[in-house]
Amino acid sequence: MEPREKRLRIAVQSKGRLAEASLQLIEQTGLRFRRGKDDLLLRVEDAPIDVLRVRDDDIANFVAKGVCDLGIVGRNALEEARLTDRIDAPDVIAELGFGRCALKIAVPENVEYGGLRDLEGARIASSHPGILRRYLDEKGVRAEIVEMSGSVEVAPRLHIATAICDLVSTGATLDANGLRAVETVLDSEAVLVQGGWPLNDRLLEVRARFLTRVDGVLASRGSKYIMMNAPESALDEIAEILPGAEAPTVVPLAGRPGAVAVHAVCKESVFWETLERLKRAGASSILLVPIEKMMI
């Protein structure tokens, strides 16, 4: 395939649990586009980028076949496409930290379950037959898989299957249908994927700039900027207390010999207990602020 001209294409979910968060991530990189409720193509105003809103099941195929250059997709959908559509799966270049869930096997609450061997010869309904088949084969369990595209949780009640294998986030849907999870088949979250088709030099630069911004957005999530004054003698203890911080910036305080200002980026949660430990170590005037953007 010849390098595509003109505009970079990013595929995202049109509807579902990843749709809104995917668009928010793109907007957080500074790209602007007008949203319409049913728009299938969103045209970025200040960069040669188009955002295509498609079915989750199509994203991996679109990126693999060069229809789109990047995609935001659930790891479960990516793996299922690789197994059932037999595509060369696009490369995962970032885990995005939203849309976390797990593909789980669940059975009715009133059914005794002693282990996966109890499903030998059973019928299991699933929207992810490829992943489930691989899991059962790895465990040496023979079972019949009934493929369902939606409302998998009703299968036992309708006597379609003995058990189900479906995505679980909070577990509320299982509870509402009298089911309990017994096995975790795959942990999933939203991932950013990239295809291998060639791009011209201009779009390579556009893609690189976008990916750098994505890295910055992900780095800033949950990160905090902390500032404090402290005696220079307490620096070693303070550095040990700061969660997930790189080497802090230390500046002498004017007119206060032996006192310094300490600035640091903390990439882990900073709790009240952390601030109290810093104060006990000698820190004062402690200020903690969120980070909106970060360039790595």
Write out pLDDT tens, residues 86-96.
777 789 999 99
Question: To which CATH superfamily is domain 101-188 assigned?
Answer: Periplasmic binding protein-like II (3.40.190.10)
Alpha carbon 154 to chain centroid, angstroms: 28
Which pLDDT score, from 0 to 100, does residue 166 have?
Answer: 95
Is the pLDDT assigned to residue 198 strictly greater than 60? yes
Question: Whose CA is closest to 227, among 289, 274, 290?
Answer: 289
Contact between residue 132 and residue 165 where contact means Cβ atoms under 8 Å apart: yes
Residue 294: which pLDDT band, with cuts at 50, 70 and 90? confident
The model carries a pTM of 0.82
* Strand 190-194 to 91-95 pairing: antiparallel
Identical fold at 101-188 and 224-290?
A: no
Which pLDDT score, from 0 to 100, does residue 2 have?
Answer: 46
Q: Where are the domains of the chain?
A: 8-99+190-220, 101-188, 224-290
- CATH code for 8-99+190-220? 3.40.190.10
Say yes or no: domain 224-290 is CATH 3.40.50.300.
no
Of 129-133, 205-209, 244-248, the one with minimum mean pLDDT is 244-248
Question: Whose CA is closest to 79, among 27, 37, 24, 134?
Answer: 134
Percentage, residues of the chain above pLDDT 90: 73
Cα(85)–Cα(87) distance, rounded to whole angstroms? Answer: 6
pLDDT digits (tens, 9 = 90+) for 76-133: 999 999 998 777 778 999 999 999 999 999 999 999 999 999 999 999 999 999 999 9
